[in-house]
Amino acid sequence: EMPGNRTLRLQHGNRIEALCVLGTHTSADVYGAAPPGAVSFGVKHTEGVSVEVVCQGQAEIGAGSGMRWPLEEGTVLRFSMSQASTEVNDNKVTVSFYAEGGQPINQAGVFLTGIGMSLDIDADRDGVVEKNNPNKASWTWGAKGHGAILLVGCNRESPFAAASDCNDERVFNKEDLLDMSQMVLRIEGPQRLPRGYEIVLHIPASDTDKVGVFYAQNPFVRQRYIHVLGQRKLYHSVQYTGGAEELDFLVEGLRFPDDTFSGLVSIHVSLLGTVTEGIPPSPIFTDTVVFRVAPWIMTPNTLAPVNVFVCSMKDNYLFIKEIRDLVNKAGCELKSCFGYINRGDRWLQDEIGFGYTHAPHKSFPVVLDSPRDGGLEQLPVKELLGPNFGYVSKEPLFEAIASLDSFGNLEVSPPVTVAGREYPLGRILIGSSFPTSAGRRMTRVVRDFLYAQQVQAPVELFSDWLSVGHVDEFVTFVPASDAKRFRMLMASPAACYKLFREKQKEGQGE
């Protein structure tokens, strides 16, 4: 079924002009355009137009040359075009009206210009922008799902930029472009658009802080990528050059999903036409694509290590030496955080959480900065944020920061299956209090952020019984060589007391 059913108002004794978008239907009211005394009509049309006569809203019969049709209320013509025009008004449909005795009374006609328009994305996630994918305006999860993916530009390609790329309307270098998703506007038509028509790319007002679009005005010249949508820009007028053309755009996400943002954004292209002088143009055709912003995904500590971060303090020289020997044996790299960065704060695990974001065309690690903000507050931005490392933070506006907001209270399991449901990226673990108590909980803005990512459904565990209250105080995961590939280790206070009592019987302690 072809989309769209725009209706034209025919006028007997006149010929109107209209633009017909390939792949859509356009209707014309025959009965309302008939002159007085007309009882039947006939239709002629050029080869580039397909015409159907629809009677009583039901029977659809092909309109052949020379055929006559009774003029009845509700009778309409429905026509479509399958090839773009090479010139304006190069196709036409003529309706002839006849009296009771078969004498011609008058004619009504419409000159048609065919134009092809398709806004395209990588809806099947194979790295190629296919033409007019039927699933481009919807999104489903999974390996067999469909829908294009956006990365949040939360890394920083330029060392001179003050913030993440998503806060900038400029493209500094080719690395910026590699992070973005491709979008192509394909247009085919005559050398010029008929007067009164315009093509506009636009986004909903609710998406201006969620998506940014750049236009490759001249991809062969550096710095010719122009910011056209996002932030304060709701629409962009597309320059029409005629013939068959492909306009290349690059799209980036501006923020990760959260409690007010599902992760889905839509971009539209509309063909606007002026119906009457003095009235603003209105859309006669709109094509839509949908992207989902890739979530932040937390990595479990059972994965092979790449870098090990440690704070260098005045009193832990021997500890760092032992860690360095261990890191060398593991074949990874030790990164020390010295005093001018840590400012006397040794609790790296509480300050940051490591994860990544992924799309078919690119992936990179992203550090989540906790709202704790101790002496290590500057570490994520100064030491981690860069061309291949992203940064995201969530700060509560009105809630006070508590111990459970530290990221020792944030862990993630390896891949698990629970009650038949698979979690291929594991499940996030958060320390919390009993729902019925007035105990401590992780601040809502961070919890909402973690739930909104959707791919690592969080589990809240009772940790408020501990003084510090962190989940990493009683549970962790270690690699295993069997089919399960991991073990969950849990601290046991009962086992600890048992050991203490045994030592006490041996005469240890007081």
**Range from 4-13, 54-63, 388-397, 401-410 carrying the lowest mean pLDDT:** 54-63
Mean pLDDT of 147-169: 71
CA 43 to chain centre: 47
CA distances from 318 to 78, 342, 348 (A): 84, 18, 18
Amino acid, single-letter form, for residue 480: A
In this predicted structure, what is the pLDDT of residue 299? Answer: 96
For residues 481 and 487, what is the distance between their CA atoms, to the nearest angstrom?
10
Is 61 or 12 the better-scoring residue by pLDDT?
12
Q: Which domains does the chain have, with CATH numbers?
A: 5-115 (2.60.40.1860), 121-293 (2.60.40.1700), 297-503 (3.75.10.10)
For the chain, the first-to-last Cα distance in angstroms comes to 85
pLDDT score of 437 more than 90? no
Amino acid, single-letter form, for residue 29: D
Mean pLDDT of 460-481: 92
pTM for the structure as a whole: 0.88
Mean pLDDT of 413-439: 90
In this predicted structure, what is the pLDDT of residue 176? Answer: 74
DSSP assignment of 111-128, as one string?
EEEEEEEEEE--TTSSSS
Tokens of 170: 């400029």
Closest CA to 356 of 428, 298, 429: 298
Mean pLDDT of 87-116: 93
What are 357-402's pLDDT values in tens digits?
999 999 999 999 988 877 787 888 888 888 888 999 988 887 788 8
In this predicted structure, what is the pLDDT of residue 435? Answer: 76
pLDDT score of 160 more than 50? no
Strands (E), 155-299: 181-189, 197-202, 211-216, 225-229, 235-238, 243-253, 264-273, 282-293, 297-298
In the predicted model, what is the mean pLDDT of the chain?
Answer: 88
Mean pLDDT of 465-472: 91
